[in-house]
Amino acid sequence: MSGANIIPTFRYRDAPEAIEWLCRAFGFERHMVVDGPDGTVVHAQLTYGGGMIMLGTARDDEFGRLMRTPREAGTNTQSSYIVVDEINAHYDRAVAAGAQIVMPLVDEDYGGRGYSALDLEGNLWNFGSYNPWGS
């Protein structure tokens, strides 16, 4: 197997805008985007380094009935941590793109530096230079 074997998944009310913003603000790259009817996204894969996330437009289907966006739920119930080589530059990029910083860039007691931000639809993202794999 190549690539990550854990891939977080998300649903967005405006998936096309979310894809654009996630690429601009956080540096994700499009791997695959399958457009749906009426400006929706059936399925998208975005990569960052050796990792990947998958997302699509929030909709009333079998999977969609099991998920709520953070705004629908009123809170986040999970978040993703992304290891970043140049954390200061990454933070500056996110701020410039309008990311809502909810935990500022700080040195962590366990090593590395990190910050947390909300995306356009309220998903919580954590970015840091600490690599728990030690590489």
> What is the per-residue pLDDT across 36-81, written as a single tens digit (0 to 9) for each?
999 999 999 999 999 999 999 999 999 989 998 898 899 998 999 9
Scan for tokens 């809502």, then name that residue: 100
Q: Which residues have C-beta within 8 Å of that of residue 37, sequence separation ≥ 6? A: none
Of 8, 15, 121, 120, nearest to 72 by C-alpha is 121
Is the pLDDT score of 126 beyond 90?
A: yes
Instruction: Tell me the one-letter amino acid at 36.
Output: G
> What is the per-residue pLDDT across 80-119, written as a single tens digit (0 to 9) for each?
999 999 999 999 999 999 999 999 999 999 999 999 999 9
Q: What pLDDT, on a 0 to 100 scale, did the predictor assign at position 134?
A: 84
Question: Considering the entire predicted model, what is its pTM?
Answer: 0.92
Record the tokens describing residue 59, joined without a space.
Answer: 């909709």
